[in-house]
Amino acid sequence: MKINDRFDKLVPNYLFADVARKTNAFIAAHPDQKIIRLGIGDVTLPLAQTVVDAMQQGCEDLRYRESFKGYPEYEGYDFVREQIAAYYAGFGVSVEADEVFISDGAKSDCGNIGDIFSEDNTVLIPDPVYPVYVDANIMAGRRILYAPSGKENHFLAMPDRKVEADIIYLCSPNNPTGAAYHADQLKEWVDYALEKNAVILYDAAYEAFIQDDRPRSIYAIDGAKECAIELCSLSKTAGFTGVRCGYTVIPKALTRSGKRLHDLWYRRQATKFNGVSWPVQCAAAAVFSEAGQEQCRRNIDYYRENALTLAHALDDLGIYYTGGHHSPYLWLECPDHMSGWEFFDYLLEKAAIVGTPGDGFGRCGKGYFRLTSFNTHEATQEAVERLCALLR
Amino acid sequence: MKINDRFDKLVPNYLFADVARKTNAFIAAHPDQKIIRLGIGDVTLPLAQTVVDAMQQGCEDLRYRESFKGYPEYEGYDFVREQIAAYYAGFGVSVEADEVFISDGAKSDCGNIGDIFSEDNTVLIPDPVYPVYVDANIMAGRRILYAPSGKENHFLAMPDRKVEADIIYLCSPNNPTGAAYHADQLKEWVDYALEKNAVILYDAAYEAFIQDDRPRSIYAIDGAKECAIELCSLSKTAGFTGVRCGYTVIPKALTRSGKRLHDLWYRRQATKFNGVSWPVQCAAAAVFSEAGQEQCRRNIDYYRENALTLAHALDDLGIYYTGGHHSPYLWLECPDHMSGWEFFDYLLEKAAIVGTPGDGFGRCGKGYFRLTSFNTHEATQEAVERLCALLR
């Protein structure tokens, strides 16, 4: 019996554990001080009422023999897939309902999608990035290269034709930097992928935060249907972090080695997945209803207002940052050449504000710091006052 | 870019599609005949009322900021894990709450658990069997051996010390044969696994149907905690096929190459999974409450009564079969040396009964046939009358 010894190569990420430990020590030492948490990576506003109603009705269906639902379709119910196709059409992107696979979340899909690719591929991952892309590919034994980002490209990694890659992860708006690609930049990635015969795995989990004409889907770009899989989630769009629902789009035009990746993923899901809970799919469909969209939009606007409050403060302070405008995240350069952890300690000690050092998101995160917009208006406003008093 | 070309080795299983096609053709040709479906592999009774109540309350929690739940723990909420540990204690098996991982179903875990093992292992799978074990390991590129079963061992495959295996799938009560191991037989498997340093993946999805002193968990066997992972599901126990919740138990004592498999699975889930929906976990906890257990038991008794109705008919007819007593499935030898498909056609044409030919479950399924107990009492009784009239 051999275990998967590639697990040994995973680097333990103690980032959030260390943040919690330091925060708790500060609270113990200063029980009178009011801590403001701007490190939260989870939504905090409740679900839209219409979504809860639909989910409860979904539960009610399971109470009676006549309306009971057993095993769902592996790929999701058609009425949900059709709603999602209509949602794409709403921002001008054409996707067929049967190209959409419903799942229990984008994180599962991000990890599991690897099953359809050989381990003998080179993976290109932007730095800094959501650590899951890296770890899932270490577990699978793939060679990993990084596409660096920084101030010079506004934390939007761009393709380098000298680099040979087979699988490319992109995340826009990015976690953790909040930076979002323009169409011409995504076009460069699509052209690169087509040239290299590579496949882009496009994580669009934060698309609902985009406010201008930046693409909300990679399929807004010509050629993307021949080279990209899109992974998306209702976690941030509709506050579904605790409900668990996401979706993956695989165009039927996307083939490699003469095989439709759509068919491979269907076979993977039919073998190692059994579909999404009926009440959850009812809730997901409600998200895409007119009332659901209006209510979910209000929650996103609430977080966006916080993000803009923080962004304006950083503007005032003359601190370099990305994100905040099309993302719930702000990614700032630590003042006075402090390291991420130095700035963490400084902010905690002097202003009782908790954020996240950039170091945990990759080599290019050194000297940077992430703030999030998931706290209340009041706490965010107070944080801004403390930040300005401290850093002015 | 290389796709995972091991998908080419998957044998397309048209079993259920062919059953549906033939059934629909029969209905079209005989619109006046009342078809009885005994091929159903899904539950049909609604959820226990107390479970629906808990799930709806879970939804209600998401309506308000104060009670809102975001990202769940990867391994499930402690209150659910504790309920499951108490459930095991109820049939005399000791499992720690923190050895239990909550998931979206046993099928996901069955497939995904492979991530913690090297591809360079030999897998031993009983024949006939649930096809998912085979397909998941073909996708991963593992060598597969089969442990044959048949009339000679009452469709309970037993270990052969000459066979070298690293990973062993067992399913008891078995899908599709309904046969369930006695403790002394499982002890042979545990001893074999310990001798070979192998790991047993024990699928206990049908444990709630066991009525006598047969083990409901592999951990009832001495030594199992050093060699077995148990996968279980609420799908058949509590009618959760459409709700999606299961659990996997990995004892902390289970190590290979000096590593706790518990830790590897935690790392796998933390990387490629994001936990189970809050309302679903609330529903799962309610299953294990006193009222939940009593209500779920009533549903299982309903299916069991059907299974016994079918079993008694086969006894009367002198037809050899397994299952039916500790399982919702009956697995019978086709009369007059008919093949599975011959008997399917015969039963459909002459009695308008739909079952499942055994061929789809492996080489040892040839000449056998599966009936299930998930239809109503009335339909099952009528099916028995038709069967007896036809085969007496």
pLDDT in tens, B62-108: 999 999 999 999 999 999 999 999 999 999 999 999 999 999 999 99
What are the residue ranges in chain B where pLDDT is below 50? none
Contact B52 A69 (CB under 8 A): no
* pLDDT number for residue B40: 87
* pLDDT number for residue A301: 98
Architecture category of domain A49-288 in CATH: 3-Layer(aba) Sandwich (3.40)
CATH superfamily of A13-42+292-391: Aspartate Aminotransferase, domain 1 (3.90.1150.10)
pLDDT in tens, A195-214: 999 999 999 999 999 999 99
Q: Which of A7, A55, A273 sits opposite B279 (nearest CB)?
A: A55
Bridge partners (DSSP) listed for residue B125: B146
CATH superfamily of B5-46+294-391: Aspartate Aminotransferase, domain 1 (3.90.1150.10)
Residues of chain A contacting residue B243, judged by C-beta atoms under 8 Å apart: 62, 277-279
Structure tokens at B192: 């074999």
The H helix count followed by the E strand count for chain A is: 11, 15
Contact B278 A69 (CB under 8 A): no
pLDDT in tens, A92-136: 999 999 999 999 999 999 999 999 999 999 999 999 998 899 999
Contact B242 A277 (CB under 8 A): yes
Measured at the CA of B195, the angle between CA B190 and CA B198, to 5 degrees, comes to 70
d(CA A24, CA A22): 5
pLDDT in tens, A20-32: 999 999 999 999 9
d(CA B330, CA B323): 5
Residues of chain A contacting residue B120, judged by C-beta atoms under 8 Å apart: 2
Residues of chain A contacting residue B239, judged by C-beta atoms under 8 Å apart: 68
Residue B55 has a CB neighbour count (10 Å cut-off) of 30
Q: What is the distance in angstroms between the Cα of A203 and the nearest Cα belonging to chain B? A: 14
Closest residue in B to A60 (Cα–Cα) = B52
Bridge partners (DSSP) listed for residue B36: B353
Looking at the domain that runs over B49-291, which CATH code has it been given?
Answer: 3.40.640.10
* pLDDT number for residue B14: 78
* pLDDT number for residue A55: 98
Q: What is the distance in angstroms between the Cα of A338 and the nearest Cα belonging to chain B? A: 30
d(CA A193, CA A197): 6
Strands in B368-372's sheet, in edge-to-edge order, are: B321-323, B329-333, B368-372, B356-357
* pLDDT number for residue A330: 98
Residues of chain A contacting residue B273, judged by C-beta atoms under 8 Å apart: 104, 107-108, 111
Q: How large is the average pLDDT for residues A60-77?
A: 97
Which distant-in-sequence residues (6+ apart) come within 8 Å of A384 by Cβ? A309, A310, A312, A313
Q: Is the pLDDT of residue A13 over 80?
A: no
Q: Which of A70, A271, A277 sits opposite B280 (nearest CB)?
A: A277
- Contact between B108 and B269 under an 8 Å Cβ cutoff? The reply is no
d(CA B173, CA B203): 9
Q: Which of B7, B47, B64 sits opposite A62 (nearest CB)?
A: B47
* pLDDT number for residue A40: 87
d(CA A376, CA A389): 20
Q: How large is the average pLDDT for residues A162-169?
A: 98
Q: What is the mean pLDDT of chain A?
A: 97
Sketch the domain layout of chain B as residue ranges.
5-46+294-391, 49-291
pTM, full prediction? 0.97
d(CA B244, CA A71): 8
Residue A308 has a CB neighbour count (10 Å cut-off) of 17
Q: Is the pLDDT of residue A17 over 90?
A: no
Closest residue in A to B65 (Cα–Cα) = A46
Q: What is the 3-state secondary structure (H, E, C) of A111-139?
A: HHHHHHECCCCEEEEEECCCHHHHHHHHH
* Confidence at A85, pLDDT banded by 50, 70, 90: very high
pLDDT in tens, A219-248: 999 999 999 999 999 999 999 999 999 999
Q: Which of B59, B68, B272 sits opposite A136 (nearest CB)?
A: B272
pLDDT in tens, A316-373: 999 999 999 999 999 999 999 999 999 999 999 999 999 999 988 999 999 999 999 9
Rounded to an integer, what is the distance from CA B326 to the centroid of its chain? Answer: 13
* pLDDT number for residue A283: 98
Contact B42 A136 (CB under 8 A): no
